[in-house]
Amino acid sequence: MINLKNVTFKWHKSDSSPTLNIKELVIEKGEHIFLHGPSGSGKSTLLAILAGINTATSGEVSILDQNLTTLSNTTRDVFRADHIGYIFQNFNLLPYLTPIENITLGCEFSKSRKQKILKKSSNKNSALQKEAIRLLNALGLTAQYHHKDVATLSIGQQQRV
């Protein structure tokens, strides 16, 4: 499912040593990994590389048999939208949108995710909104918050969105 070979990452070409230097990492489907280390050790950098947000300086990064290192930025963005869930450390919510609008916005970037939700519903117009509401409720963000600007929510509530 995830395969890294001889991956290095430098924030700047002039850096004397790479932030990441991974000879090999293989994670099979269904396998669970706990990633830990001190602040600054490269955990978030590795996750950003696996999500295709950052690109390796050298080596090969394959996810679902797709070599991310050979994809253009646009193609990598589409691949991420279709196949990878990524929660940013700084949420990246659009502050002028409601929680429901922030959640459904992701479906505008991934036709396949949108189609999966629409296939489950007979009412195509409200399917995305209903799924967003279901998710928000499951995470304990009740209806009173569904239509507020996310900028007015607490940090914990923003994390759930």
Domain residue extents for the chain: 2-83, 99-160
Query: Which pLDDT band, with edges at 50, 70 and 90, does 20 fall under?
Result: very high
Q: Which residues contact 87 (CB under 8 A, 6 or more apart)?
A: none
Task: Say how far apart CA 20 and CA 5 lie, in whole Å.
Answer: 12
Q: What is the amino acid identity at position 117?
A: I
pLDDT above 90: percentage of residues in the chain: 52
Question: What is the 3-state secondary structure of the chain?
Answer: CEEEEEEEECCCCCCCCCCEEEEEEEECCCCCCCCCCCCCCCHHHHHHHHCCCCCCCEEEEEECCEEHHHCCHHHHHHHHHHHCCCCCCCCCCCCCCCHHHHHHHHHHHCHHHHHHHHHCCCCHHHHHHHHHHHHHHHCCCCHHHCCCCHHHCCHHHHHHC
Instruction: Look at the domain 2-83 and name its fold.
Output: Rossmann fold (3.40.50)
Q: Give pTM, 2 decimals.
A: 0.64
Q: Which residue from 21, 46, 23 is spatially nearest to 34, judged by alpha carbons?
A: 46
Q: Quick one: pLDDT at residue 91? A: 72
* Mean per-residue pLDDT, 52-69: 94
Tokens of 126: 């409200």
pLDDT at 113 over 90: no
pLDDT at 16 over 90: no
Query: Which pLDDT band, with edges at 50, 70 and 90, does 7 fall under?
Result: very high
* Mean per-residue pLDDT, 25-32: 95
